[in-house]
Amino acid sequence: MDEFYRETWIEVQLDAISSNVKNMYNHLPNDTDLMVAVKANGYGHGAYETATIALESGATALATALLDEAIYLRKQGITAPILVLGYVPPNYAQIAADYNISLTVFQKEWVDTAKTVLTSSLPVHIKCDTGMGRLGVRTVRELEELLNSVKRNEFFHLEGIFTHFAAADEQNSSYYLQQLRKFQSFLEIVKEKPRWIHASNSAASLRFADGLFDLVRSGISTYGLTPSIDIVSELPFPLQPALSLHTRLTHVKKVAKGAKISYGGTYTAKEDEWIGTIPIGYADGWLRLLQGQSVLIDGIRVPIVGRICMDQCMIKLPQKYPVGSLVTLIGNQGEEHITVNEIAEKLGTINYEVICILSHRLPRVYKKGKKIVQIKNELFR
């Protein structure tokens, strides 16, 4: 177990991830497999740790955005199928093949170049762009050409065909349906069905039965967060947030009425006030826009006052608290709760972004129930 010597840490409740994965698995038909997206360091939760508990809880496969992320998992000993969802330069095709990592293909030119470097079998998934406008073939004709190129080389093994929904998390499902129909029209020309046809992300998997096919790719719901606020009332099972963020008071003082706090002196004490310092700042992913956001101490909400610095910020206390007192930035204290969605709203963004930007400087403490099972400090790796 890694050590850490600072007073700020992320807690990841592995039981929550396990329960989210089990609930998703049980929600799916028997013949639909579950692929868990662990890109971006498992949405900030730790890619290896998430992958391990997800595979134990019903997931069959994993997805990353980058070949590097997939190789990292292989180097940690993960043997389950891994699909890289993003673009990998074709000259790295053999590296993927060596690690038995599946790549996403959508360009005939890519196939032509990859062919020249491949000396062993590479599993590939063809990506269809049905309306996301990001990656993928956009016409049936392009798909046909690509299928033929892939088929012509013995080293390509067509493992999957997929698409990605752009608006499955919106109340109005018309764009979802439009994409689904387009994907179905693409599939009509596929004569030899690969192992996995797949389309649905968390939102689509949770809401729609008609897009499940052979496999779903679930990211955000694995971590216990809703794909969007719009669909909270439609969730078929409760999602359990796995991540919480904590720190401790490092300094406490009474300042006189009129005293200024932090860079630029944007906060002035309205009376004699207790001010606490906490060791988290924008370099940890706790952005300056969070000035004014509440944190929890002693089960109550108190505000961040003054500008957030790179490594620290200040909070206004209702009374003196001892140095070392627990402060929760995301999570529960007593009856009070600060959600990732609350932070996202304050930042004018989505929950996905909040958890992805929590930086590598924050040690991750993994728990099963109350027991700490693993501590990871990226600074020592």
Of 75, 260, 263, 320, the active-site residue reads 263
Least Å from the CB of residue 227 to ligand PLP: 5
Known catalytic residue: 151? Answer: no
d(CA 167, CA 374): 37
Nearer to ligand PLP, 85 or 295 (CB): 85
Nearer to ligand PLP, 24 or 118 (CB): 24
Contact 126, 146 (CB under 8 A): yes
Does 227 bind ligand PLP (CB under 6 A)? Our answer is yes
Contact 183, 164 (CB under 8 A): no
Show contacts with ligand PLP in window 202-221 (CB under 6 A): 202-203, 217-220
Supply the DSSP string of 110-173, one letter for each residue.
HHHHHHHH--S-EEEEEEE-SS--SSSB-SHHHHHHHHHHHHHSTTEEEEEEEE--SSTTSS--
d(CA 192, CA 174): 30
Range in contact with ligand PLP (rule: CB under 6 A) among 23-31, 115-123, 195-203, 242-250: 195-203
**Structure letter (DSSP) for residue 18:** H
Does 45 bind ligand PLP (CB under 6 A)? Our answer is no
Nearer to ligand PLP, 40 or 338 (CB): 40
Identity of residue 148: N
Known catalytic residue: 352? Answer: no
Q: What are the tokens at 40?
A: 């971006």
Residue 184's nearest CA partner among 160, 213, 205, 206 is 213
Least Å from the CB of residue 217 to ligand PLP: 4
d(CA 75, CA 82): 13
Residue span 71-110 as binding mask against ligand PLP, x where in contact by CB under 6 A, dash where not = --------------x-------------------------
HSE at residue 364, side-chain half, CA atoms within 13 A, is: 23
Contact 286, 280 (CB under 8 A): yes
Least Å from the CB of residue 204 to ligand PLP: 8
| Total residues interacting with ligand PLP, rule: CB under 6 A | 11
Show contacts with ligand PLP in window 232-261 (CB under 6 A): none
Q: Which residues are catalytic?
A: 39, 263
What are the residues binding ligand PLP (CB under 6 A)?
A: 37, 85, 164, 201-203, 217-220, 227
